[in-house]
Amino acid sequence: MTKSPNPALSLIDSHFAEHARVIADLAPLSATLAEAGSLCARALGDGRRIFLCGNGGSASDAQHIAAELVGRFVADRRALPALALTTDTSALTAIANDYGYDHVFARQLEGLGAAGDILVAISTSGHSANVNLAAQRARDMGISVIGFSGKDGGKLVELADLSLVVPSQTTARIQECHILMGHLLCALIEQALELA
């Protein structure tokens, strides 16, 4: 009798293989990612700020990337002004209650942002209404938008100045690539500002 393969190992191996394929398929995004790093570094060098937003896992990614910039990514250096628009529960709930959930990021950006700032808008589908409304408000305010998305990029592709679309239909793989690209964005910023 043939012994059946271990289902846990099969699951792990299939996820590892899929992850590796998607990572390999990111290569065409390198130039856009480099441009995003340069855009952020120029803004920070000019005294501007980076805002980030997203829902669920993308909210966690927004907070993670902001923390890398305000704290540190690799080496000790000055704190960089970055803020995840996902963290102020009083603002989130007040805006959602008074204006609707679609406005939770755009309203904060309107109050905190200014021309020359950067918005990193994160949505695995590119169809998150609140993220896209924030991207539209950013454009109206003269704030550059870097879009992190996946699948077909969704509406966020049209709203972003620079669009980084992970070539996958699997949400988990897209999120894994988003945090990789977020780390690379931090590394590029540090390199460009000679902070590493």
CATH of the domain at 104: 3.40.50.10490
16 lies in a domain?
Answer: no
182 lies in a domain?
Answer: yes
Burial class (CB in 10 A: 0-12, 13-18, 19+), 112: middle
Distance CA 132, CA 119 (A): 11
Q: How distant, in Å, are the alpha carbons of 16, 18, 65 from that of 52? A: 29, 28, 8
42 lies in a domain?
Answer: yes
4 lies in a domain?
Answer: no
Give the number of domains in the chain.
1
Distance CA 134, CA 54 (A): 10
Instruction: Report yes or no: 155 and 50 within 8 Å, Cβ to Cβ.
Output: no
- The pTM assigned to this predicted structure is 0.95
17 lies in a domain?
Answer: no
1 lies in a domain?
Answer: no
Question: Residue 163 belongs to what H/E stretch?
Answer: strand 162-166
6 lies in a domain?
Answer: no
| CA 170 to chain CA mean position, Å | 17
7 lies in a domain?
Answer: no
What is the token pair recorded at 51? 């805002």
Q: State the residue range of the domain holding 132.
A: 30-192
Question: Could you report the per-residue pLDDT of 75-102, keeping only the tens digit for each?
Answer: 788 999 999 999 999 999 999 999 999 9
Question: Could you report the per-residue pLDDT of 108-165, keeping only the tens digit for each?
Answer: 999 999 999 999 999 999 999 999 999 999 999 999 999 999 999 999 999 999 999 9
